[in-house]
Amino acid sequence: MLMRTDPFRELDRLAQQVFGNTAATWSRPSTMPIDAYRSGDEFVVAFDLPGVSPDAIELDVERNVLTVKAERRPLATGDNVEMQVSERPLGAFSRQLFLGESLDTDNIHASYDAGVLTVRIPVAEQAKPRKIAIEGTDNSRKEINA
């Protein structure tokens, strides 16, 4: 169902762990962790986006490429606030998934709850298992699963 993801994602994650999160990452898109699985007749992808406002999430599909973009903005603080620790990454996050031909990209549904964006993509009708009738020479019919 899921064809492939960004091959450099792990390299980006490793570099971020080694070099830390600097101000330069505000302008550089970061990746977001996902879980992807098939549940019945739909493919489900859950994206971790903690602390991201729903209005800062953009979800697009073009051909068979699903793109998620999100932005975690800085907290609104007053004038007399001095940040002591700032470890949560800010800025733009993006992820692209290349979807298989067997998914119905015209009927994608998305929901956002507790910092998790869940995208549900139905399996296309032509990709679902179906029974095929087999005709025998004695004019009897059998059905088998395809």
- φ/ψ of residue 129, rounded to 5: -65, 145
How large is the average pLDDT for residues 16-31?
52
30 strand-pairing partners? 93
Q: What is the count of structural domains for the chain?
A: 1
pLDDT of amino acid 22: 47
Predicted confidence band of residue 30 (pLDDT cuts 50, 70, 90): low
pLDDT of amino acid 62: 93
107 assigned to some structural domain: yes
pLDDT of amino acid 113: 96
125 assigned to some structural domain: yes
pLDDT of amino acid 49: 93
Alpha carbon of residue 139 to chain centroid: 50
pLDDT of amino acid 131: 82
Predicted confidence band of residue 133 (pLDDT cuts 50, 70, 90): confident
17 assigned to some structural domain: yes
Contact in structure between 38 and 102 (CB atoms under 8 Å) = no
pLDDT digits (tens, 9 = 90+) for 39-71: 999 999 999 999 899 999 999 999 889 999 999
141 assigned to some structural domain: yes
pTM above threshold 0.75: no
First-last CA distance in the chain: 18
126 assigned to some structural domain: yes
CA distance 66 to 130: 28
Tell me: pLDDT of 26 over 60: no
**The domain containing residue 33 runs over which residues?**
2-76+88-145
Backbone CA torsion sign across 35, 44, 118, 124: positive
How large is the average pLDDT for residues 21-47?
75
Tell me: pLDDT of 140 over 90: no
61 assigned to some structural domain: yes
Alpha carbon of residue 63 to chain centroid: 15
List the CATH number of the domain containing 42: 2.60.40.790
What are the C-alpha distances in Å from 39 to residues 26, 36, 64, 66? 36, 10, 20, 19
83 assigned to some structural domain: no
55 assigned to some structural domain: yes
